[in-house]
Chain A
């Protein structure tokens, strides 16, 4: 993979990752480590902690998620994130758009032969 391809892929994943984070938080509030772990379970996204936290602060700045520090029963305090109402609306919009885009792209690339 060339550096150019890698750069393109990283841009591509970052956009998708914002949607992934919103979708994850739609099921309930999570703290930082949980978000990183849940996303790391999805091999296609190939994420690290270093990409997740800056994206969380971006989403927070945009008013899509809110956060609060809370004591943890064990260990250090945790920062919990949840969707705001604006975030919920944004998620619905983005998810709808994503479905449209992904169906169109799937149809286009289904004719591309992999591995050749």
Chain B
């Protein structure tokens, strides 16, 4: 059922809420509409119902007061801007990584990067855009509800790739020439060389060290599942690049434009699934729990 007074009220409210994320506005309006429709069906009078919400100006003020202070402290804002690009050199905290890499409620796909300069991909917005989940389906708890096996599987992916990097270097070590490529031109042709210990060191520092250092931190007691999944997702990209670098290093002077690009694309795709699968499984557990409570 629709009523001109309801539509006029909601239009005025939308105008008052201008400037807030469109998700918040849509959600607020949808909720009021549902409330009005249900109460009106139960026999309440529309004018009286609308009076219960106060004027659109008052209601908008309440919504802003409820939403804005939390947004200012949740860390989703960058430290500042440099030449129009957001920067943030505060040490990355799990919460800040989380609010930027996985925030389905934020419609922006590119959010300020967690550490350094530039932007980061908000996988949460991506899966919403792809229609895989709805923005308000999720909360921080959904990773905590993911099955432990899924979290371990996510963590295993970068670990396996880091291991592969070490194996590739170890197996070909004795047959490697004294100098190996350490830099490649745009076409994938090697154009910089260094002793093989240096070359191997670069590969290990890039593809293996981040995995080891991060795992030491996130496997300690007390790290939440969300922290672990996020770490696994970021490290998937690093370790995929590590594998590609190792292959390129041991292949000597052959030119190979493919591995680095393949690793970059593969790493991002892998990082996405490492994040998405546990999130999805956590969501399913949540829904099942709700159904159990109902039934």
- Where the two chains meet, the residues of A that have a C-beta atom closer than 8 Å to any C-beta of B are 28-29, 32-33, 36, 48-51, 53-55, 57-58, 60-63, 66-69, 72, 74-80, 82, 84-86
Contacts and interface: CB of A to CB of B under 8 A. Distances in A.
Contacts of A80: 290
Specify the main secondary structure of chain A where it touches its partner: mixed
A48 B136 contact: no
A72 B38 CA distance: 10
Contacts of A53: 28, 31-32, 35
Given A29-B293, A49-B35, A68 B137 contact: yes
Specify the main secondary structure of chain B where it touches its partner: helix
A49 B34 contact: no
Interface of B: 24, 27-28, 30-35, 37-39, 41, 49, 52-54, 58-59, 62-63, 65-67, 70-71, 134, 136-137, 139-141, 144, 286-287, 290, 293-294
Contact of B59 (A50, A74, A77, A78): A50
Given A33-B39, A53-B32, A69 B136 contact: yes
Contacts of A63: 139-141
Given A50-B52, A50-B62, A68-B287, A77 B141 contact: no
B161 to A, nearest CB: 33
B261 to A, nearest CB: 40
B34 A54 contact: no
A78 B35 CA distance: 8
B16 to A, nearest CB: 13
Given A32-B31, A51-B62, A54-B62, A66 B141 contact: yes
B141 A58 contact: no
Closest 4 CB pairs of A and B: A58-B66, A54-B62, A54-B66, A50-B53
Nearest to B70: A61
B70 A79 contact: no
A53 to B, nearest CB: 6
A81 B71 CA distance: 21
A54 B65 contact: yes
15 contacts: A28-B293, A29-B293, A29-B294, A32-B35, A33-B35, A49-B35, A50-B54, A53-B31, A54-B62, A61-B70, A62-B70, A75-B38, A79-B31, A80-B290, A84-B141
The interface centre, meaning the residue of B30, B54, B66 with most chain A CB atoms within 10 A of its CB, is B66
A61 B140 CA distance: 10
Contact of B38 (A33, A50, A60, A85): A33
B78 to A, nearest CB: 20
Given A63-B141, A75-B38, A57 B67 contact: yes
Contacts of B58: 50
Contacts of B28: 53, 57
